[in-house]
Amino acid sequence: MRRDAAVLFGQLGVDLDPDRPARGLSIADQQIVEIAKALSTDARVIVMDEPTAALSASESERLLDVARRLRDGGAAVVFVSHRLDEVFALCDRLTVMRDGATVRTCPVAGTDAGEVVRWMVGRELTDLFPKTGTTPGDVVLRVRGLTTDGVFDDVSFDVRAGEIVAFAGLVGSGRSEVVRAVFGIDRYDSGSVEVLGSPLPPADPRAALARGVALVPEDRRQQGLFMPASVARNTAVVVLSRLARRGVVRERAERELAAHWAQRLQLRHGGLDQPVERLSGGNQQKVVLAKWLATDPRLLVVDEPTRGIDVGTKAEVHRLLSEQAGRGLAVLMVSSELPEVLGMADRVLVMREGRLMATLDRGEATQERVMLAATGQASVAGEGSAA
């Protein structure tokens, strides 16, 4: 069995020890193990559901290669993806679905990204990434020498009021881990975090909250929301103390707060008592944003704020973030979507293998420079250019 596994890994062009527990592997390697598992059963039809959602460009490229090889070997591959560039790079035919119904099926050769996007949203899209011109204010977040052994190493940066700073880099490069440590979800081994000039105690999200730090987490369903709970309860959960009188939560205040934010973010919902699990992904993300904006933060950290949401809501989220930054909020954004990073950020921090490789101003940041820093390989720069 061990030998079979090694042979499969060889076919996939990866070097993995079959005895290792899957737990410690990078997401990309776990994905490969997953595919090896499918191959081990000599599958003739392979369905890949968002296989690259958590992968970086070069890792995705490796996966696309594997998919092509499977196809050439005579297997049928169904590839479900949000990433249009991958669809155009890999697929022979595509089917667009919207609201549970098929919109169109056609050969990939006969269409282009613009047309597909129009089918997806059912309307024309104009301004996807609103540009902002802001003058940065005081330093809100100051991170120095932040280190967790084996995860990230000696990370230092500042975020100023009114500024959107983006964390770019490959998945697994330690971006999410850094922001988790800053907010206090995880412990770090050494370094310091300062908010508005005074140090933030480590591993204490409550202290971070009290100091005006908010974190919109990477995984909306697991980390951002209480899925069976209502829109109102989710919106109010972080600010309960403010809504309580002698420990008793005032329901009316809770509903007023939720209604206010629902209106402000143009939340499409079926009543404030509706469980958030019944909302669409984009509207769920709006609830998460409402929940954190309700804390009236000084620093908003957003981790993959538009992952897996529809194009229309994506634009709304971008507009909201720029607007908030325009009012003096400091925004730190982790994103794997290069166009989003380049379109939104005043400054781009690029991480690779747990280290900060470059800090690029808006003027300096181009796809090539970011990719170069993120991969450390000149040959891959320029790849991963999105639609």
Partner 1 sequence: MNGGLRRVLAGREAPVAGALVVVLAVTTAVNPRFLSDQGRFDLLVAIAITGLMAVGQTFVLVMRHVDLSVGSVLGLSAFMAGSAVRGDTGGSLLVALLVGVVVGVVAGLVNGALVAFLRLPALVVTLGTLYVFQGVQALLTGGTRINADQLPASVVSFGVTGFLGVPWLMWVCLLAAAVGGVFLRTRRSGRDLYAVGSNPPAAELVGIPVARRTLLAYMVSGACAGGAGVLFLARFGGVDSNAGIGYELPVVAACVVGGVDIFGGSGTVLGALLGAMLLKTMGVSLSALSVPEFWQQAINGLLLLVAITADRIVLLRRERSARVEAARHRREHAGAVPDPPRDGADRAGHEGATTTEVVR
Partner 2 sequence: MSRVLSWDRSVFVLLVVTVAVGAVIDPDFAGGSNLGFVLQDIGEIMLIALPMTFLIMTGEIDLSVASTAALAGCVLGWAWQASGSMAVAVLAAVGTGVVCGAVNGFLVTRLGLGSLAVTIGTLGLYRGLCYALLGDTTVADFPAGWTNLGFSSIPGTPLPYVTPLLVVLAVAFGVVLHLTRTGRWVFAVGQSVEAARFAGIPVARLKFRLFVVTGAVAGLAGIVYDLRFASARPDGALGFELAVIASVLFGGVSIFGGVGTMWGVVSAVLFLGSVRSLLQLQGVPGNALTIITGGLLLASVVIPVVAQRWSAFRERRSRVLAAATP
State the helix-helix crossing angle for 57-72 and 27-40, rounded to 10 degrees.
10
Where do the DSSP E strands lie in the chain? 45-49, 76-80, 93-98, 101-107, 139-148, 152-160, 164-169, 190-195, 198-199, 213-216, 244-245, 248-249, 299-303, 330-334, 347-352, 355-361
Q: How far is the CB of 271 from partner 2 (least distance, A)?
A: 12
Which of 32, 209, 332, 357 binds partner 1 (CB under 8 A)? It is: 357
State the helix-helix crossing angle for 27-40 and 2-11, rounded to 10 degrees.
110
Q: Decide if 294 contacts 276 (C-beta within 8 A).
A: no
> Is residue 349 close enough to count as binding partner 1 by CB under 8 A?
yes
Return the structure tokens found at 15: 């070097």
- CA–CA gap between residue 333 and residue 328 (Å, rounded): 15
Q: How far is the CB of 251 from partner 1 (least distance, A)?
A: 31
Which of 6, 7, 25, 227 binds partner 1 (CB under 8 A)? It is: 25
Cβ closer to partner 1: 272 or 334? 334
- Residue 152: count of CB within 10 angstroms of its CB: 24
Cβ closer to partner 2: 115 or 204? 204
Which of 59, 86, 158, 340 binds partner 1 (CB under 8 A)? It is: 158
Which of 157, 167, 261, 292 binds partner 1 (CB under 8 A)? It is: 157
User: Within positions 57 to 116, which residues make up the interface with partner 1, using CB under 8 A?
Assistant: none
- Residue 81: count of CB within 10 angstroms of its CB: 18
Cβ closer to partner 1: 10 or 376? 376
3-state helix, strand, coil in the chain (%, to 5): 40, 25, 35
Residues near partner 1 (CB under 8 A), total: 29
157 binds, among partner 2, partner 1, none (CB under 5 to 8 A by kind): partner 1
223 binds, among partner 2, partner 1, none (CB under 5 to 8 A by kind): partner 2
255 binds, among partner 1, partner 2, none (CB under 5 to 8 A by kind): none
Cβ closer to partner 2: 52 or 230? 230
Which of 240, 377, 382, 385 binds partner 1 (CB under 8 A)? It is: 377
Beta bridge partners of 346: none
Interacting residues toward partner 2 by CB under 8 A: 183, 185, 205-206, 208-209, 215, 217, 219, 222-229, 233, 237-238, 240-241, 244, 247-249, 291
150 binds, among partner 1, partner 2, none (CB under 5 to 8 A by kind): partner 1
Could you tell me the sign of the dihedral formed by the alpha carbons of 271, 219, 155, 166, in that order? negative
> Is residue 222 close enough to count as binding partner 1 by CB under 8 A?
no
Cβ closer to partner 1: 58 or 313? 58
Cβ closer to partner 1: 24 or 247? 24
State the DSSP string of 301-351. Answer: EEESTTTT--HHHHHHHHHHHHHHHHTT-EEEEE-S-HHHHHHH-SEEEEE
- CA–CA gap between residue 321 and residue 130 (Å, rounded): 10
Cβ closer to partner 1: 28 or 315? 28
Could you tell me the sign of the dihedral formed by the alpha carbons of 328, 334, 339, 345, in that order? positive
Give the footprint of partner 1 on this chain (CB under 8 A).
20-21, 23-26, 37-38, 41, 149-151, 154, 156-158, 347, 349, 352-359, 373, 376-377
